[in-house]
Amino acid sequence: MRRIFAAFAYEDVPRKGCWWDKTCEMPPTEVLEGSRRVQVAIIGGGFTGVSAALYLATAGASVAVLEAQDFGWGASGRNGGFCCLGGGMAEDAELDARFGRGERIAFRQAEKSAVLFVENLIRRYRLDVDRHSQGETELAHRPKDMKTLQARAARIFENYGVEPQIIEKSDLEDQGMKGGPFFGALTVPLGFGLNPRKYLAGLVKAARSAGAQLFRRSPVTGMTRRDGLHHLTGPSGTVIAEHVIVATNGYSSEDLPDWLAGRYMPGQSTVLVTRPLSKADLEAQGWTTDQMCYDTRHLLHYFRLMPDGRFLFGMRGALLTGPRAEAAARRKVRQDFESLFPRWAHIESPNSWSGMVSLARKKLPFVGEIPGLKGVWAAMCYHGNGVAMGSYAGRLAADLALGRETGECPSVMRAPLARFPLGRARRALMPPLYAQLMLADRV
Ligand SMILES: Cc1cc2nc3c(=O)[nH]c(=O)nc-3n(C[C@H](O)[C@H](O)[C@H](O)COP(=O)(O)OP(=O)(O)OC[C@H]3O[C@@H](n4cnc5c(N)ncnc54)[C@H](O)[C@@H]3O)c2cc1C
């Protein structure tokens, strides 16, 4: 596996301290031994891979998931738990120019379908995921950002068919959002917060019950095609399949398959979780809502008060990787937490961790067949919003592998990933971009 961050980013240290690990066990899975023949083999045991496996097994297909570490070891087991709209970063005007208004709306509707898809899975499999929040709220971090939010609100109905709510600064107190340094907000009534590990554990259990074979500690180290079949090899076994779904997102490799080289940009995000806050703590800060929120910065902060009283706060992570960069990222998330919520500066945050998301050059997620590799599909690049979109993209990729053209996968998501400039050195593009965004967030 050729990867573009140093080995540290793919080891256990960045995820050490992840709060979710303490909240539930992953159902037991085996290590692959020997050879198996299935219809569909899936690389990666996060939301994308496991959702695809559940869908395929339920449809009667034979399916195996190969996960290099443990299920949920990647971003799916260590994210902020915002089950929300999103998946791409391209603005409406950009989508209209590239694909036309109709395709833009189809993509926005897919974002909504992704949230409803997760909601249905939770209901169907009776998953206990500590759900809360009525949609999601974006908070203006500068007075002038209220104009941006008003412009966004005007497009919400067209895109998602729901009515948003603009909250003026003077009304933030009524919403339990008085204490933050914000100038108003926009709430979109779609999405909710969840415990991502409990959600994934529920999917793993359901996929196993439906007949999917799930293998942990089973990295795929080679992929070849012989006699029309794909052979996925690892240290202790091989899976032979008619179709392969690559579901490795931010933990992808340049050579699995080779086509991916240069076509995804892993980026880090860092999160902290406080000790449970008391009623007095909440009132002291003036923040009592359990609404999941983020701010209007390009390099945004995301935060939510969870049902157990703990507060989760996250932001972009380090550009570099290694023990020093990781420690600095954790210091920075703590510093920003204290600056946005100063009355909680004394509140301990015993848990913090980092993980990898994935960006695409054209700022859109991809679900489709890998050009030149018949029967190999990929679903990835959710731009830090993959709880809902990753789950849904896994299902969409599964449909494609089954040969079902349901028309549900918008053409916006079918456009193959374009290459970034600079190949393996493409991470050099990020520092100037972050500097530019930081400046735009300040002025
Ligand atoms: C700190 C953080 C906070 C986030 N917060 C949110 C949020 O609040 N809301 C939201 O919507 N999104 C959030 N995200 C993004 C979201 O978590 C991801 O988009 C989503 O989990 C991607 O799921 P996935 O299954 O595609 O990939 P992952 O969950 O990353 O899984 C990929 C898996 O592939 C495995 N793998 C890689 N190579 C191989 C191989 N060769 N063989 C076998 N296995 C392999 C890895 O071990 C890994 O487990 C966050 C991400 C991070 C890191």
Residue 277 and residue 186 share a domain: yes
- What lies within 8 Å, CB to CB, of 355 at 6+ separation is 14, 15, 74, 75, 78, 79, 250, 268, 269, 317
The predicted pLDDT at position 56 comes to 98
Nearest-angstrom CA–CA distance, 230 and 223: 7
Rounded mean pLDDT, 10-14? 97
Structurally, the chain folds into a number of domains equal to: 2
Residue 187 and residue 152 share a domain: yes
Which ligand 1 atom minimizes the distance to the CA of 389? 11
Ligand 1 centroid vs 69 CA: distance in angstroms? 12
Ligand 1 centroid vs 42 CA: distance in angstroms? 14
Choose which residue among 131, 192, 251, 269 to substitute to test ligand 1 binding: the one with the highest number of ligand atoms within 8 A of its C-beta: 251
User: Could you tell me if residue 254 is inside a domain?
Assistant: yes
Nearest-angstrom CA–CA distance, 168 and 186: 9
Ligand 1 centroid vs 75 CA: distance in angstroms? 3
Is the model's pTM score more than 0.85? yes
pLDDT tens-digit readout, 103-159: 999 999 999 999 999 999 999 999 999 999 999 999 999 999 999 999 999 999 999
Residue 281 and residue 172 share a domain: yes
Residue 63, pLDDT > 90, answer yes
pLDDT above 90 covers a percentage of the chain that reads: 98
Ligand 1 centroid vs 178 CA: distance in angstroms? 33
| End position of a domain, from candidates 356, 386, 412 | 356
Rounded mean pLDDT, 81-106? 97
Residue 375 and residue 332 share a domain: no
- Residues lining ligand 1, judged by CB closer than 6 Å? 1, 43-49, 66-69, 73-76, 78-82, 84, 219-220, 247-251, 256, 269, 271, 314, 355-357, 380, 382, 384-388, 390
Ligand 1 centroid vs 243 CA: distance in angstroms? 21
Q: Virtual CA dihedral for 384, 356, 220, 212, nearest 10 degrees?
A: -50
- The phi and psi torsions of 435 (rounded to 5 degrees) equal -60, -45
H or E element that contains 167: strand 165-168
Residue 87, pLDDT > 80, answer yes
Which ligand 1 atom minimizes the distance to the CA of 46? 25
pLDDT tens-digit readout, 332-346: 999 999 999 999 999
pLDDT tens-digit readout, 249-285: 999 999 999 999 999 999 999 999 999 999 999 999 9
User: Could you tell me if residue 421 is inside a domain?
Assistant: yes
Nearest-angstrom CA–CA distance, 99 and 103: 6
Residue 388 and residue 298 share a domain: no
The predicted pLDDT at position 227 comes to 93
| End position of a domain, from candidates 312, 338, 356 | 356
Q: Which domain holds residue 186?
A: 132-193+267-356
pLDDT tens-digit readout, 306-328: 999 999 999 999 999 999 999 99
Residue 413 and residue 372 share a domain: yes
CA-nearest residue for atom 9, ligand 1, is 82
CA-nearest residue for atom 12, ligand 1, is 385
Split at pLDDT 50, 70, 90, the class of 180 is confident
Nearest-angstrom CA–CA distance, 167 and 165: 6
Residue 276 and residue 189 share a domain: yes
Residue 280 and residue 189 share a domain: yes
Split at pLDDT 50, 70, 90, the class of 404 is very high
Residue 283 and residue 410 share a domain: no
Ligand 1 centroid vs 338 CA: distance in angstroms? 27
The predicted pLDDT at position 179 comes to 77
| End position of a domain, from candidates 356, 374, 391 | 356
Nearest-angstrom CA–CA distance, 36 and 42: 13
Nearest-angstrom CA–CA distance, 217 and 71: 9
Residue 371, pLDDT > 90, answer yes
Residue 319 and residue 240 share a domain: no
Residue 388 and residue 332 share a domain: no
The predicted pLDDT at position 443 comes to 78
CATH of the domain at 140: 3.30.9.10
The amino acid sitting at 222 is G
Say how many Å lie between the first and final Cα of the chain, rounded.
42
Burial of 132 (0-12, 13-18, 19+ CB in 10 A): middle
The predicted pLDDT at position 433 comes to 95
Which ligand 1 atom minimizes the distance to the CA of 385? 11
- Report in angstroms the alpha-carbon separations of 19 from 75, 385, 398: 13, 19, 31
User: Could you tell me if residue 319 is inside a domain?
Assistant: yes
Per the DSSP assignment, residues forming a β-bridge with 18 are none
Nearest-angstrom CA–CA distance, 83 and 403: 28
Which ligand 1 atom minimizes the distance to the CA of 220? 42
Helix %, strand %, coil % of the chain (to 5): 40, 20, 40
The predicted pLDDT at position 405 comes to 86
Question: Which token pair is 127?
Answer: 């998953």
Question: Which token pair is 142?
Answer: 């500068």
Split at pLDDT 50, 70, 90, the class of 176 is very high
